[in-house]
């Protein structure tokens, strides 16, 4: 009954697509690795101070660029709160205005089949919800991205991606919400357990189909043909027992100026994808390091571990959801004209509860992801053995991630290690690996 996933899935699909990003494959002239600060080199006695080296790297970023990056990233903290508050406000509007109950009555008048009533209720509810959240979506996803020069996508292109994401979200969300409500009605004593199981299964299915069937609807994916890139990457893959014969690129530059890469998929659909911004602006060493990180996710089974951790959280959320929803129905059901917790008209209350839970769980879910990202960082250092390339690509990520937050700030708001943490790990690795085989 995790219905917020249904309402949010359109934005989720569009967000995933925007992160994966379209030009045809081509051979590029890669820039050389940037200069290494003197403080990040070994001194005459063979000593390297990791803290001093880290600070030297961070100090290479001009103050104005650091300020812009910090403002962009810190603004996201407030947007997380405003998103939650606006979602709660819209949910209360649906409930107290009687609009949710009227949509339920409209669906009930069209058919006697409960599962069809749920679907008929959900379609207009979903579209109205998307419409009411659109101004904030436009501000976050289009205006603000252009304001901070994180995107140069046209408004038409952005709207196309949004509409495609909404269409896909409507299909998948309708199916999910209908199944969850049917399960809840048929298994009233244990619906929270079976509902959690349904959401976990649905999440796994999306992991399988997204990279193969959904992501290509938004962007162009192709095998990287550049021998200078592919040869060392496939060699590194074979050395680490990864059965791949290709590395993919995606035209993320359609939507964003950010450099990124990802590993996605399950059960034979797993693939490593580098975005074209990374391929165009980074040296071969930085590309190797980034791919080594992504290979770490594969070798360390992070996709499966992440799904398992998510399922544990989902189960606990369902337990809280059941208790809270029953309490809200007892207190406010008459005012909202909802008959039971199985009434589709109570869906806005479900969304409201899950929004609050999600906000409170932000440090927990961020920490889970951040821990796996740091493990992949260490794997990438050991696989690519390019600590200075690691530091330099982390500085490029500082275009849209705050480089040097405080420890509490990093714990609460960062789903990846900060630039400071990552560069310090790289410099610690470098200080301990001088002269070891394969170190470059």
The verdict on residue 288 lying in a domain is no
**Residue 212: what pLDDT?**
84
How far apart are the two ends of the chain, measured CA to CA in Å? 52
Please give the Cα distance from 101 to 105 (Å, whole number).
Answer: 6
**Residue 15: what pLDDT?**
41
Q: Tell me how long the chain is.
A: 440
| Secondary structure in 3-state letters for 274-326 | EEHHHHHHCCHHHHHHHHHHHHHHHHCCHHHHHHHHHHHHHHHHHHHHHHHHH
The verdict on residue 310 lying in a domain is yes
CB 386 within 8 A of CB 293: no
**Residue 262: what pLDDT?**
86
CB 150 within 8 A of CB 260: no
Domain containing 344 equals 3-25+63-218+303-363
Angle, CA of 424, 371 and 403, to the nearest 5°:
40
The verdict on residue 321 lying in a domain is yes
**Residue 94: what pLDDT?**
98
The verdict on residue 298 lying in a domain is no
The verdict on residue 54 lying in a domain is no
The verdict on residue 144 lying in a domain is yes
Number of helices (H), then strands (E), belonging to the chain: the values are: 17, 4
The 10 Å CB-count burial string (b at 16+, else e) for 261-275 is bbbbbbeeebbbbbb
**Residue 91: what pLDDT?**
98
**Residue 19: what pLDDT?**
40
- The rounded Cα 403 to chain-centroid distance in angstroms is 19
Angle, CA of 8, 16 and 268, to the nearest 5°:
115
The verdict on residue 271 lying in a domain is no
Q: Single out the residue of 204, 215, 415, 411 nearest to residue 310, CA to CA.
A: 204
**Residue 263: what pLDDT?**
83
**Residue 265: what pLDDT?**
75
DSSP labels, 336-395: HT--STT-GGGHHHHHHHHHHHHHHTHHHHHHHHHHHHHHHHHHHHHHH--HHHHHHHHH
The verdict on residue 47 lying in a domain is no
pTM (predicted TM-score): 0.88
Q: Single out the residue of 156, 122, 151 nearest to residue 3, CA to CA.
A: 122
**Residue 28: what pLDDT?**
66
Paired with 250 in beta bridges are 221, 275
Q: Single out the residue of 293, 310, 318 nearest to residue 369, CA to CA.
A: 310
Please give the Cα distance from 434 to 424 (Å, whole number).
Answer: 16
**Residue 211: what pLDDT?**
85
pLDDT profile of the chain (440 residues), mean per 10: 42 40 53 93 91 97 95 96 97 97 96 92 97 96 96 94 95 95 93 96 90 89 92 91 88 91 78 91 94 93 93 97 96 96 96 97 96 96 94 95 96 96 97 72
Total domain count, the chain: 1
CB 15 within 8 A of CB 268: no
**Residue 241: what pLDDT?**
86
**Residue 390: what pLDDT?**
96
């Amino acid at each position: 009954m995790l219905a917020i996933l249904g309402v949010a899935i359109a934005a989720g699909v569009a967000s995933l697509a925007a992160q994966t990003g379209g030009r045809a494959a081509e051979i590029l002239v890669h820039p050389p690795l940037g200069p290494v600060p003197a403080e990040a080199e070994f001194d005459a006695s063979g000593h390297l101070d990791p803290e001093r080296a880290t600070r030297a790297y961070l100090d290479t970023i001009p103050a104005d660029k650091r300020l812009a990056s910090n403002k962009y990233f810190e603004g996201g903290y407030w947007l997380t709160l405003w998103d939650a508050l606006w979602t709660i406000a819209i949910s209360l509007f649906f409930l107290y205005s009687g609009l949710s109950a009227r949509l339920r009555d409209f669906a009930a008048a069209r058919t006697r089949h409960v599962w069809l009533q749920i679907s008929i209720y959900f379609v207009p509810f979903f579209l109205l919800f998307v419409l009411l959240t659109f101004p904030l979506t436009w501000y976050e996803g289009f205006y603000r991205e252009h304001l901070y020069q994180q995107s140069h996508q046209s408004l038409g292109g952005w709207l196309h991606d949004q509409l495609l994401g909404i269409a896909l979200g409507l299909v998948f969300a309708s199916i999910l919400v209908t199944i969850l409500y049917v399960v809840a009605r048929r298994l009233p004593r244990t619906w929270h357990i079976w509902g959690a199981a349904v959401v976990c299964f649905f999440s796994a299915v999306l992991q399988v189909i997204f990279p193969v069937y959904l992501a290509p609807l938004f962007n162009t994916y192709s095998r990287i043909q550049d021998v200078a890139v592919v040869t060392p990457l496939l060699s590194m893959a074979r050395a680490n027992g990864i059965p791949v014969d290709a590395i993919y690129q995606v035209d993320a530059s359609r939507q964003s100026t950010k450099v990124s890469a990802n590993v996605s998929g399950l059960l034979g659909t797993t693939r490593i994808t580098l975005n074209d911004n990374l391929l165009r602006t980074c040296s071969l060493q930085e590309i190797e390091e980034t791919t080594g990180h992504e290979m770490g996710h594969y070798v360390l089974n992070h996709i499966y571990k992440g799904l398992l951790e998510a399922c544990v959280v989902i189960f606990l959320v369902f337990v809280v959801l059941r208790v809270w929803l029953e309490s809200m129905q007892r207190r406010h059901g008459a005012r909202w004209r909802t008959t039971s917790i199985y009434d589709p008209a109570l869906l806005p209350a479900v969304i409201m509860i899950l929004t609050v839970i999600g906000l409170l769980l932000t440090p927990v879910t961020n920490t889970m992801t951040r821990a796996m990202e740091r493990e992949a960082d260490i794997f990438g250092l050991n696989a690519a053995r390019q600590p200075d390339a690691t530091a330099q690509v982390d500085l490029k990520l500082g275009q849209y991630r705050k480089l040097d937050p405080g420890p509490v700030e990093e714990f609460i708001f960062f789903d990846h290690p900060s630039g400071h943490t990552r560069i310090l790990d790289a410099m610690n690795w470098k200080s301990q690996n001088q002269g070891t085989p394969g170190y470059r």
